[in-house]
C-alpha cells in the first residue's frame, strides 16, 4: 500500500472538513516513534495531540487492555456497572486538587467532558451564563464551539451557537493583554452583557492548548477564584490537554494555590483509549438528577483499564519529573537559538508543555509563514511538530514523556537544524 493511493481513496471517501496534517499513513508505532505504510520512520512530537504522554503502545497499557478483553468489553456502565470504574473514580478523587469531598464521572471525549461540566454547573447553580476566554479551545460540539475563543477553523459556517456564552480576553503579555485587562473585561461583561448572578461558571485552561500554550498567571487564577466566590459562580478548569503529568504535575492546577470547583480531563487519561471525565466538589457533582449524566460508551471498560495503567506508569516512571527535565532541555535549546534567530519571540511553558512563538524579526507581529516553514521542514526530516495559536505562529511540543534520551536528542538536532534552515530561506 502506498501513501499516494491511500490519499486518493481518503479524498474520495471522507469529507474535507476532517482536516489531516500529514500526507502519509501510519502503519505502526512504538513509544515516541511511528512508521508509515511505506516504512518511513518519524519521531512523534505530537503524541496524538497530547494523548500519548505514556508513549505509543506502552506494555503495561497493552497488558491491562488484554486482561480486560478476557472479561468483557461493554455493558454500558449505567446498565450494568463494574468495579474498575468506581476504583478509577476513587483514584481521581484522591489525586485531583482540592481538600474537599469529590466525585468523578467518566465520558468518552474531551468535548463531552466540557459539555457535562457545563450541564453540572447549570444544574448546581440554576443559572445559564458561562464566561470563557479568547484563545481557549473546548471542543467541536455546539457548546464546545460556543466556548472556544477562536473562529477559524472551528466556528466557520456552524452557527448559531448556544446563548449565554461570553468571552473575555485571556492574559497574554507578549501581545499586550495583562491580568488587569482581563479582569476589567469581565467586569465590563457584568455591566453590559450579563448580571453576575446569572453566571453559572467561568471556564478556563490553566495553560491554553490550541490557543498557543499561554499559561494563566497565578494572580489571574487567584482573581478568578475570588470573583467566583464573591458571586456564587463555579470555577471550571479545563485540563483536557494539561493533565496527566504534561506540565510537571499530575494536573496543571497543582501549580496554583487555589482550586477549581470542577475540572475536565481527557486525552492522556487512558493512553490512547477514548476516555474523559469530570471531577469536582461532591455536592456540585450530585446536582444533576439520575440519568442526567452518562452515555452509551461513557467509561468504556477497556479505556478504564488503560487509565488505571496510565496512573501506575506516571508514578512508577516518575513522569511528572521527567516532563520537567525534558521541557527544560527543549527550552534551553530554543533560548540558546534566540540570539541567532530573531523570529523567536518567546519560549514558554511549564514542565513538558513547551512552546516557541515566532514573530517578524524585532517585533511582536505573528509570523505564520516562518512557523509553517519550520513545521514543514521538520516533517521532511522525520519530526512531527504541531502548530497552534490564534495566528498559527506557535509550535507546541507534545513529545511522549516516556521518550528515550537517544530519540529525544535526535529530535533536538533536527529541530535546531530546521529552525536555522528556515532563517536562511527567509533571508
Here the CATH number for the domain that contains residue 148 is 3.40.640.10
Q: pLDDT class for 104, splitting at 50, 70, 90?
A: very high
Residues 227 and 132 in one domain: yes
pLDDT of 427 > 60? The answer is no
Give the pairing of strands 234-238 and 199-204. Answer: parallel
Residues 109 and 255 in one domain: yes
Q: pLDDT class for 426, splitting at 50, 70, 90?
A: low
Domain boundary (316, 336, 369) is at 316
Sign of the Cα torsion 90, 95, 98, 100 reads positive
Mean pLDDT of the region 307-328: 98
Rounded to the nearest 5°, which phi and psi values hold at 387?
-100, 145
User: Which candidate, 297, 202, 205, places its Cα nearest to that of 243?
Assistant: 205
Domain boundary (272, 300, 316) is at 316
pLDDT score recorded for residue 1: 84
pLDDT score recorded for residue 425: 73
Residues 105 and 120 in one domain: yes
List Cβ neighbours of 45 (8 Å cut-off, separation of 6 or more). 32, 383, 384, 385, 386, 397, 398, 399, 411
Q: How far apart are CA 129 and CA 302, in angstroms?
A: 36
Decide: helix, strand or coil at residue 148: coil
Q: What is the 8-class DSSP label of residue 366?
A: B
Domain boundary (316, 346, 377) is at 316
Cβ(306)–Cβ(61) below 8 Å: yes
Q: Could you report the per-residue pLDDT of 2-31, keeping only the tens digit for each?
A: 999 999 999 999 999 999 999 999 999 999
Q: Could you report the per-residue pLDDT of 238-275, keeping only the tens digit for each?
A: 999 999 999 999 999 999 999 999 999 999 999 999 99
Residues 253 and 335 in one domain: no
Q: Given the C-alpha cell 463555579, which residue does it identify? A: 234
The overall average pLDDT reported for the chain is: 97
What is the domain range of residue 377?
Answer: 3-56+318-426
Mean pLDDT of the region 389-401: 97
User: Which candidate, 171, 163, 252, 169, places its Cα nearest to that of 200?
Assistant: 163
Q: Could you report the per-residue pLDDT of 139-155, keeping only the tens digit for each?
A: 999 999 999 999 989 99
> What are the C-alpha distances in Å from 10 to residues 18, 29, 34, 89?
10, 21, 20, 39
The count of domains in the chain is 2
pLDDT of 364 > 70? The answer is yes
Residues 48 and 154 in one domain: no
Residues 296 and 202 in one domain: yes
Residues 119 and 263 in one domain: yes
Instruction: Strands of 205-343 (E only): list them.
Output: 234-238, 262-265, 276-281
Q: Which helix (H) or strand (E) holds 355?
A: strand 354-358
Q: How far apart are CA 61 and CA 79, in angstroms?
A: 26
Other beta carbons within 10 angstroms of residue 325's beta carbon come to 15
Residues 191 and 260 in one domain: yes
Half-sphere exposure of 82 (CA within 13 A, CB side): 20
Mean pLDDT of the region 60-71: 98
Residues 282 and 356 in one domain: no
pLDDT of 114 > 80? The answer is yes
Cβ(372)–Cβ(200) below 8 Å: no
Residues 133 and 274 in one domain: yes
Cross-sheet strand order for the sheet of 199-204: 102-107, 276-281, 262-265, 234-238, 199-204, 129-133, 165-168
pLDDT score recorded for residue 228: 98
Residues 113 and 262 in one domain: yes
pLDDT of 424 > 80? The answer is no
Q: Could you report the per-residue pLDDT of 176-215, keeping only the tens digit for each?
A: 999 999 999 999 999 999 999 999 999 999 999 999 999 9
Q: How far apart are CA 375 and CA 409, in angstroms?
A: 18
> What are the C-alpha distances in Å from 146 to residues 66, 75, 151?
39, 33, 10
Amino acid at each position: 500500500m502506498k501513501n499516494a493511493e491511500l490519499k486518493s481513496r481518503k479524498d474520495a471517501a471522507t469529507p474535507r472538513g476532517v482536516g489531516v496534517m500529514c500526507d502519509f499513513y501510519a502503519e505502526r508505532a512504538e513509544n515516541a516513534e511511528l512508521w508509515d505504510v511505506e516504512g518511513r520512520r518519524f519521531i512523534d512530537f505530537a503524541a496524538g495531540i497530547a494523548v500519548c504522554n505514556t508513549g505509543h503502545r506502552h506494555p503495561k497499557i497493552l497488558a491491562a487492555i488484554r486482561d480486560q478483553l478476557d472479561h468483557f468489553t461493554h455493558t454500558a456502565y449505567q446498565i450494568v456497572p463494574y468495579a474498575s470504574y468506581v476504583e478509577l473514580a476513587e483514584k481521581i478523587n484522591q489525586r485531583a486538587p482540592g481538600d474537599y469531598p469529590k466525585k468523578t464521572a467518566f465520558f468518552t471525549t474531551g468535548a463531552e467532558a466540557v459539555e457535562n461540566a457545563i450541564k453540572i454547573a447549570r444544574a448546581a447553580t440554576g443559572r445559564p451564563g458561562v464566561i470563557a476566554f479568547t484563545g481557549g479551545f473546548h471542543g467541536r460540539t455546539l457548546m464546545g464551539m460556543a466556548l472556544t475563543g477562536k473562529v477559524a477553523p472551528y466556528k466557520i459556517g456552524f452557527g448559531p451557537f448556544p446563548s449565554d456564552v461570553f468571552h473575555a480576553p485571556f492574559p497574554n503579555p507578549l501581545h499586550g493583554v495583562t491580568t488587569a485587562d482581563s479582569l476589567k473585561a469581565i467586569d465590563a461583561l457584568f455591566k453590559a452583557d450579563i448580571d453576575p448572578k446569572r453566571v453559572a461558571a467561568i471556564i478556563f485552561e490553566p495553560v491554553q492548548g490550541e490557543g498557543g500554550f499561554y499559561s494563566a498567571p497565578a494572580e489571574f487564577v487567584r482573581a478568578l477564584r475570588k470573583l467566583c466566590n464573591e458571586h456564587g459562580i463555579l470555577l471550571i478548569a479545563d485540563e483536557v490537554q494539561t493533565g496527566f503529568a504534561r506540565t510537571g504535575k499530575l494536573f496543571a492546577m497543582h501549580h496554583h494555590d487555589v482550586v477549581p470547583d470542577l475540572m475536565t480531563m481527557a486525552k492522556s487519561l487512558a493512553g490512547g483509549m477514548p476516555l474523559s471525565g469530570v471531577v469536582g466538589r461532591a455536592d456540585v457533582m450530585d446536582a444533576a438528577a439520575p440519568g442526567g449524566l452518562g452515555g452509551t460508551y461513557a467509561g468504556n471498560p477497556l479505556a478504564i483499564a488503560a487509565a488505571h495503567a496510565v496512573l501506575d506508569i506516571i508514578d512508577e516512571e516518575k513522569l511528572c519529573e521527567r516532563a520537567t527535565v525534558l521541557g527544560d532541555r527543549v527550552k534551553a535549546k530554543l533560548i540558546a537559538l534566540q540570539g541567532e534567530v530573531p523570529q523567536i519571540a518567546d519560549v514558554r511553558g511549564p514542565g513538558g508543555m513547551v512552546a516557541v512563538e515566532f514573530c517578524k524579526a524585532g517585533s511582536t507581529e505573528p509570523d505564520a509563514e516562518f512557523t509553517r516553514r519550520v513545521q514543514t521542514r521538520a516533517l521532511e526530516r522525520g519530526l512531527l511538530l504541531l502548530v497552534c495559536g490564534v495566528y498559527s505562529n506557535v509550535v507546541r511540543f507534545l513529545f511522549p514523556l516516556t521518550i528515550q534520551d537517544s530519540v529525544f536528542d535526535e529530535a533536538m538536532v533536527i529541530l535546531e537544524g530546521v529552525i536555522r534552515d528556515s532563517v536562511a530561506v527567509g533571508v
